[in-house]
Structure 1
Amino acid sequence: MKYVPTHKRVVRGKRIHETVEERHSKLELEKRTPELSIERVEAEFLVPTIEIFVETEQVRRLKDRVKLWIKVGYPPHIVGPTGCGKTTLAMQVARELGRPTVWINGDEQMTTTDLIGGYSEMEAESVRDRFVHNVMLAKDRTKFTWVDNPLTLACKYGYTLVYNEFSRAKPEANNVLLSVLEENILELPTMFGDERYIKVHPDFTAIFTSNSIEYAGVHKPQDALLDRMVDIYMDYYDFDTEVKIVQAHTGMPLQEAKKVVKAVRILREKLPEPHKPGTRAEIMICQGLNAMDGYSKEDLEQIYMDILATKIGEPKELLKKGGLIREILSETYGDA
């Protein structure tokens, strides 16, 4: 006997079980969730992307030192001359930690609010209710919206904070870091009640970078804060490392890259600390030369002057530095 349904069956609700395809898609998404989270956070806070990172033995040793102190539990403070690669090193270490990175740049005008956040808007709400025809209930409420800034986000969720140009901020702006690094507590001075204190997430990491104290616009951080960090002093990379970095960023042929690096390094030895050109200057020179369709001796001198004759106070200094550059180019390039 065969059963023939007379009514179309209606299925209500949703399926309890997943198909094999749905299960595989879900597992794939779970694998990518940390990566997607990192991309979302870093895009929101405009974290610089390190497209090119050249790793030689010297770079690897520096990177391993930074990672060592992070593992021990002390924030590394990378100190060195401008243009030597401090920020690139810090960002590469942050990337390899595998957690979202938030970024902040120190400057003269920075305040504690720039680090922790503050109230960004006020919302006013009014209620008028005539629940009895001759009685009106009136209620006004004002609500303030708090917005977290990089330090608070990093402390709450275990992100990596890269504080670039740390020593350019005034010491009083950084006082809030004392309790974070010592007691693992972040205090939000303008908050109230139990929201005033945040327990620092165990995965929280901070990496600081600063120019040497000889540079203009640099403030000496308070000793109490420096005692809670590990200073890693970084100098310019060696000749071979700089050549590889320049080639990676510009595609300059090896022999030409060597000439540029050699010329800049000679000039570096003849100038006082704040005026020494860094690896960044070598990259800029190569980019300028690459952009020209061939160049004469005068063009070569002009490119070098444009990049290296910076931080000049008066015309007399420009003439002196120009003569020094021409002398070095003659030594490096010959009469060609």
Structure 2
Amino acid sequence: MSSHLKIDDVQDAIENGARTKNEIAEVVGKSPSNTNRKLKAWVENEDVRLDRHWNHGDGGGYVYTIPAEDEIDDAEDLPILGSRNYDWDRFVPDAEDVPVYRQAERELDEIEAVLEARDATGQLPRFQISGPTGCGKTTLAEYLAADRGAPMITIQCNYALRGAELLGTPQIVGGDVMWVDGPLTRALLASREREVLVLIDEVTRATARSKGTLFPALDHRAEVKIKPRGNELISGVAEDMITVATMNEGQDYETEALDAAEERRLGLKWELPYLGQHSPDLEAELVATKTPMPSTDARVLVDAANVVRDAAEDESEPAITRGVPTPAVISWAQTAYAFADRGLNDPVGRAMQSAVVKPVYDEVAGDVAGKIHSALKRADHEPDLGPEEVTA
């Protein structure tokens, strides 16, 4: 018999009453750390689900659940997980964990201006942020929520997302079947009590079946009906539900087009470039704050990344379809420092392969590596990553 933890064992544990990672680990006879790693992977694959339950102290308020699909048509009398006694403060991003957002084109100032004037203008706080992966769209939303002390609720759009999942579903929790509210229901409930930020991530990946549930909640009515619970009406406060809809753009992304009515419901729109394309010095400063690399050396990496970013936007170079995300530039700087500290030859070039080319690019790895190498050779100076220089 295999000693590896299996999803069937975890599902059986949940059906038999286990709720937290520690309880599951005890039932399956594995260490909490090993169980936690497996659970994270299964949550990402949607084999199990992680929900917050404020009346359950063990495990930091989190419980693991699995779908109870057989109960979906008869959910009106099911108990609700946590009885909807949500502690909204625990949904607010920790300001210490959210990086300071560096604006590309005053987009944050403009969003805050709309928010501050909404009582006078009657304008609903609905915002769209488009741009390539890794340009800071999610960071903008997190920073805005943390800065305003607003709970942040994320709706992750994808082709498998069903409208029912936005509202809630029956789940097996600790061996019992309970109703677990979905993110849209929670957002509406939160808006009754305070300002809430709803991140609609990758909205252009949402299909018609999920948009049919989502978009009616974004107008002045701010309400939904939960059919499996006897058409239970959930109403919110439209003015206090700040929505930030993000979308990735570029020929490398498969997306669903938004029609004119959907665009209007999503509100005002900003198109963000990579920070380094708009302000190389700002991105270099950001890299320097996240790594031991000085901003002058970080600027060399940013300039090299910009060569690839520009190529991704150039229709005459169809091989390269995506730019270098800012997190990849940060990882490049961190890795280059580590390689240099170890005394490895060509730390910047080695790190470029490990942190940028191989994780982000595949069939065009050679093209990307060639452009970056050429850019590094053209740089005014080569980054000096010796420990004395870096820590000075």
TM-score (norm. length: structure 2): 0.62
Q: Does 1:305 align with 2:338?
A: no
Aligned to 1:31: none
What are the residue-to-residue correspondences of 1:266-305 with 2, within 5 Å?
Answer: 266-272=307-313, 274-292=321-339, 293=341, 298-305=346-353
Matched-pair contact (CA < 8 Å) for 2:307–2:375: yes
> What is the Cα deviation at residue 309 of structure 1?
2.4
Summarize deviations over 1:202-229 as a string: whole Å, max 9, x none: 5222211111153323222343221212
Counterpart-to-counterpart distance in 2, 1:90 and 1:335: 36
Counterpart-to-counterpart distance in 1, 2:173 and 2:300: 60
Aligned to 2:161: 110
Higher gyration radius (CA): 1
SS at match of 1:198: strand
Equivalent AA in structure 2 for residue 263 of structure 1:
A
Q: Does 1:198 align with 2:249?
A: no
Aligned match of 1:220 in 257, 260, 263?
257
Aligned match of 2:273 in 235, 254, 258?
235
Q: Does 1:256 align with 2:306?
A: no
* Stretches of structure 1 lacking an aligned partner (at least 5 in a row): 1-35, 124-142
- Equivalent residues, number: 274
Per mean C-alpha deviation after superposition, the further-off stretch among 203-212 and 67-76 is 67-76
> What is the Cα deviation at residue 236 of structure 1?
1.6
Summarize deviations over 1:158-185 as a string: whole Å, max 9, x none: 1321122222232321221222122322
Matched-pair contact (CA < 8 Å) for 1:176–1:187: no
Matched-pair contact (CA < 8 Å) for 1:177–1:225: no
What are the residue-to-residue correspondences of 1:10-49 with 2, within 5 Å?
Answer: 37-41=87-91
Aligned to 2:110: 65
Matched-pair contact (CA < 8 Å) for 1:86–1:209: yes
Aligned to 1:127: none
Aligned to 2:245: 208
What are the residue-to-residue correspondences of 1:155-174 with 2, within 5 Å?
Answer: 155-158=188-191, 159-174=196-211
Kindly tell me: are residues 174 and 68 of structure 1, through their superposed partners in 2, closer, same or farther at Cα, counting changes over 3 Å?
Answer: farther
SS at match of 2:228: coil
> What is the Cα deviation at residue 297 of structure 1?
5.7
Counterpart-to-counterpart distance in 2, 1:88 and 1:289: 24
Kindly tell me: are residues 306 and 272 of structure 1, through their superposed partners in 2, closer, same or farther at Cα, counting changes over 3 Å?
Answer: farther
Per mean C-alpha deviation after superposition, the further-off stretch among 73-82 and 249-258 is 249-258
Equivalent AA in structure 1 for residue 294 of structure 2:
P
Q: Does 1:245 align with 2:286?
A: yes
Counterpart-to-counterpart distance in 2, 1:53 and 1:255: 21
Matched-pair contact (CA < 8 Å) for 1:90–1:207: yes
Counterpart-to-counterpart distance in 2, 1:335 and 1:205: 45
Matched-pair contact (CA < 8 Å) for 1:155–1:198: yes
Matched-pair contact (CA < 8 Å) for 1:37–1:100: no
Structure 1: 4+ residue segments shifted above 6 A: 47-50
> What is the Cα deviation at residue 312 of structure 1?
4.5
SS at match of 2:244: strand
Kindly tell me: are residues 181 and 52 of structure 1, through their superposed partners in 2, closer, same or farther at Cα, counting changes over 3 Å?
Answer: closer
Counterpart-to-counterpart distance in 1, 2:159 and 2:291: 33
Kindly tell me: are residues 178 and 55 of structure 1, through their superposed partners in 2, closer, same or farther at Cα, counting changes over 3 Å?
Answer: closer
Kindly tell me: are residues 214 and 68 of structure 1, through their superposed partners in 2, closer, same or farther at Cα, counting changes over 3 Å?
Answer: farther
Summarize deviations over 1:119-144 as a string: whole Å, max 9, x none: 22599xxxxxxxxxxxxxxxxxxx97
Matched-pair contact (CA < 8 Å) for 1:213–1:220: no
Kindly tell me: are residues 320 and 204 of structure 1, through their superposed partners in 2, closer, same or farther at Cα, counting changes over 3 Å?
Answer: closer
What are the residue-to-residue correspondences of 1:139-150 with 2, within 5 Å?
Answer: 145-150=178-183
SS at match of 2:125: coil
Counterpart-to-counterpart distance in 2, 1:231 and 1:171: 21
> What is the Cα deviation at residue 284 of structure 1?
1.1
Kindly tell me: are residues 178 and 319 of structure 1, through their superposed partners in 2, closer, same or farther at Cα, counting changes over 3 Å?
Answer: closer
Per mean C-alpha deviation after superposition, the further-off stretch among 144-153 and 252-261 is 144-153
Counterpart-to-counterpart distance in 2, 1:160 and 1:62: 17
TM-score (norm. length: structure 1): 0.71
Counterpart-to-counterpart distance in 2, 1:332 and 1:297: 19
Kindly tell me: are residues 296 and 174 of structure 1, through their superposed partners in 2, closer, same or farther at Cα, counting changes over 3 Å?
Answer: same
* Stretches of structure 2 lacking an aligned partner (at least 5 in a row): 1-85, 315-320, 384-392
Please provide the CA RMSD for this pair.
Answer: 3.1
SS at match of 1:275: coil
> What is the Cα deviation at residue 51 of structure 1?
2.2
Kindly tell me: are residues 156 and 37 of structure 1, through their superposed partners in 2, closer, same or farther at Cα, counting changes over 3 Å?
Answer: closer
User: Matched residues, percent identical?
Assistant: 23
Counterpart-to-counterpart distance in 2, 1:228 and 1:236: 26
Counterpart-to-counterpart distance in 2, 1:335 and 1:200: 56
Equivalent AA in structure 1 for residue 90 of structure 2:
R
Summarize deviations over 1:293-325 as a string: whole Å, max 9, x none: 1556643222112333255454xx433333222
